[in-house]
Amino acid sequence: MKLRVHLAQFYPKLGNIEYNMEKHIEISGRAKDKADLLIFPELSLTGSNLMDLVSEVALEKNSKILNPLLEFSSNLDIIFGLVELGENNLFYDSAFYCSKSSLKYVHRKSFLSSPRRSGGKDYFSSGNNTGVLNADWGKLGFIISDDALNPVSVLPFIQKNPDIIIIIDNGLSFGFSSDTGIPKSALMWKNLISLYAQIFCSYVIYVNRVGFEDGLNFFGGSSVIDPYGETIISCPYFEESSLDVELDLQTFKSRPFNLSFNRERLESILRNLKDEI
Amino acid sequence: MKFKIPFDPIYTKDILVRFIRDETRKFGIDKLVIGLSGGLDSSVSATLGVDALGRSNILGYVLPYRTTSQNSIDDAILMAEMLGVNTELIDITPMVDAYFKGETEDRVRRGNFIARTRMCVLFDKSYQHSALVLGTSNKTELLLGYGTIYGDMASAINPLGDLYKTQVRMLAKEIGVPDKIIAKPPTADLWVGQTDEGELGLTYEEADEILYRLVEERIRPELLLEMGYREESIDKIVYLMRKNQYKRTLPVIAKLSCRTIGIDFKYPRDWNN
């Protein structure tokens, strides 16, 4: 099984769904004939540092505003990020997976960032999905930004063994690194996604945004990592960009050191942990 | 081994040029005004501004008071000529002296008024030219409160606000600010003989190292003492940081309604981009 993926590293306008939707439509139009899966960054429809705008840009699952993307998804699977107005009027930092003209899966961010950012606990509620989806082309593991920093988020991947782990991010640029020209935060993410690829013997697709919001700067650097932890291809830092990649999902299936799941061992660890807590 | 504050001038220049360009143009504006003092900070900000928007979109203002040294004026003009930016010299002495009419010898009062008069001129010019005011306050000054609130601390966008003074020096070398400007003793030049380090009682090297340990590394003052830093310096820096917190915030508002500006009415500055 080969999967053609289009990564859209773009710069959403903060709080401007109309503009951002136009960009999504434009990018979807470019991708539809050359990709099977199109991936946008976290909160791609709204921007990141929303603060009180969260309630004003939130959309329900059945919002008509999303129809153009559902239409494109008739023959192009699309993942995009938005503020979701969920049940009980709670807001979620969500990723929607659209396929065959319908919303197939909603993944909600669990571990919320510090309050200074839109992902903060002041505004959003925590999701509790496992983050694993059976798509037509294989098994997909989902992570939204800082969830990747908490190992609990990836626990389901031990059992489910996804073919691809997709991380969508609003990754901030900060800190000085030893690697000239690249922020410390970008190097941290590079190392982390390489580690996940190796641990789970899976492709990792990392899609980040770029641009500035109130001085916050998002570094981009979207990339695709193979199960050995090597970067196959990546977007430049700080620039709007896109890239196409074709992944052979069979190639690594026969790796002799593929992750072998031991249910008894995992259950034993969880049981012990529960006792200790 | 001597501690060195981490810094990457290439990355920093890249981000700050993008920052200036982005945070100006997203509001439909393509011009910046900047006060040129002949010192390090305004020279670095102006150079970054030119890199971001081009020399024709940077408007420099040299705003001397009668006590401003000729050396500062010369260096400001040197910088403006080197960058090729349109520059106007406006003597603010009549404005300042018209207010005081010789009534005060308090140099701090007069100094603050000079700084605020410059701010008034720059913001007026920004309106006249549909431009934004480019800031020049560095992180050391902001943390220590070494500046005049609503004076030199005021601006629309500030590219230097997250850089310590010693990092600004390193950046200055990277972007080609003349050595004579980098090397001269920093001064607000609000009265004759004033120097930053003389007034603070600290060198910028010492202040930045302690600030970096306190702010970035979150090391507690008592541990800094054990690490060998001077008690007098630690105490002074901690005192100034706390005392001047008000200079880094908007005026405090008493909460009466359900949604109070700054407390629970929180919108990003880029709301209307």
Is B178 domain-assigned?
yes
Pick A180's closest partner by Cβ from B11, B267, B270: B11
Put simply, whether B191 touches A (Cβ < 8 Å) is no
> Which residues in chain B touch residue A183, judged by CB atoms under 8 angstroms apart?
11, 15
Q: Do A14 and B11 touch (CB under 8 A)?
A: no
Whether B225 contacts chain A with CB within 8 A: no
Return the residue of B nearest to A122 by Cα.
B264
Put simply, the answer to whether A238 touches B273 (Cβ < 8 Å) is no
| pTM, rounded to two decimals | 0.92
Say yes or no to pLDDT of A267 above 90: no
Higher-confidence residue of A116 and A168: namely A168
pLDDT tens, residue by residue, B14-45 = 999 999 999 999 999 999 999 999 999 999 99
Mutant choice from B7, B13, B15, B137 vs A, greatest count of A C-beta within 10 A: B15
Are the C-beta atoms of residues B181 and B43 closer than 8 Å to each other?
A: yes
Is residue A264 over pLDDT 90?
A: no
Determine the pLDDT at residue A249: 86
Among the ranges given (A64-68, B195-199, B201-205), the one the predictor scored with the smallest mean pLDDT: B195-199
Contact between chains at B270 and A177 (C-beta distance less than 8 A)? no
- For residue B221, is it within any domain? yes
Distance from CA of A213 to the nearest CA of B (A): 6
Contact criterion met (CB < 8 Å) for B268 and A214: yes
Which are the catalytic amino acids of B? 41, 141
Burial class (CB in 10 A: 0-12, 13-18, 19+), A273: exposed
What is the mean predicted confidence (pLDDT) over B55-84?
96
List residues in chain A touching B: CB distance below 8 A.
Answer: 13-16, 49-53, 173, 175-177, 180-183, 211-215, 217, 238
The mean predicted confidence, pLDDT, of chain B is 94
Of A14, A176, A238, nearest to B6 by CB-CB distance is A176
Q: What is the mean pLDDT of residues B116-123?
A: 98
**B265 closest CB neighbour out of A16, A52, A217:** A52
Instruction: Please state, in angstroms and rounded to a whole number, the distance separating the CA atoms of residues A39 and A78.
Output: 6
pLDDT of residue B200: 84
Whether A173 sits inside 8 A of B15 (CB atoms) is yes
More confident residue, A117 or B149: B149
The CATH number of residue B31's host domain is 3.40.50.620
Asked, for residue B20, whether it belongs to a domain, the answer is: yes
| Structure-token pair, residue A13 | 């306008």
| Residue B28 Cα, gap to closest chain A Cα (Å) | 14
Of B8, B266, B273, the CB nearest to A14: B273
Query: What is the span of the domain harbouring residue A66?
Result: 2-276
Total structural domains in chain B?
A: 1
State the smallest CA–CA distance between residue A86 and chain B in angstroms: 22
Nearest Cα of chain A lies from the Cα of B183 at a distance, in angstroms, of 25
Q: Specify whether the CB–CB gap between A167 and A109 falls below 8 A.
A: no
**What are the pLDDT digits (tens) for B215-266?**
999 999 999 999 999 999 999 999 999 999 999 999 999 999 999 998 999 9
Residues of chain A contacting residue B11, judged by C-beta atoms under 8 Å apart: 176, 180-183
* Domain membership flag for residue B190: yes
Q: Determine, for residues A217 and B18 on separate chains, whether the beta-carbon distance falls below 8 Å.
A: yes
Name the one residue in this structure whose structure tokens are 């001597």.
Answer: B2
Backbone φ and ψ of B264, nearest 5°: -130, 20
The CATH number that applies at residue A60 is 3.60.110.10
Contact B22 A14 (CB under 8 A): no
Domain range for B243 is: 9-272
Helix (H), strand (E) at residue B211: helix B204-211
Give the residue from chain B lying closest to A11, CA to CA.
B22
Orientation angle between helical segments B9-25 and B40-53, nearest 10 degrees: 60
Residue B104 has pLDDT above 90, yes or no: no
Query: At B246, is the secondary structure helix, strand, or coil?
Result: helix
pLDDT for A270: 76
Q: How many CB atoms lie within 10 A of CB A89?
A: 9
CB nearest A217 (choices: B6, B19, B271):
B19
Q: Decide the pairing of beta strands A91-99 and B86-89.
A: unpaired
Query: What percent of chain B stands above pLDDT 90?
Result: 86
Cα of first residue to Cα of last residue in chain A, in angstroms, is: 43
- A173 and B270 within 8 Å at the Cβ level: the answer is no
Q: Are B47 and B176 in contact (CB under 8 A)?
A: yes
Q: Which residue of B has its CA nearest to A182?
A: B11
Contacts of B12 in chain A (CB under 8 A): 176
Q: How many domains does chain A have?
A: 1
What is the mean pLDDT of the segment spanning B186-195? 81
Determine if residue A100 is left, alpha or beta; phi over 0 gives left, psi from -120 to 50 gives alpha, anything else beta: left
Q: Is residue B175 part of a domain?
A: yes
Which residues in chain A have their CB less than 8 angstroms from residue B269's CB?
214
Q: Does B263 touch chain A (CB under 8 A)?
A: no
Residue B3 falls inside a structural domain: no
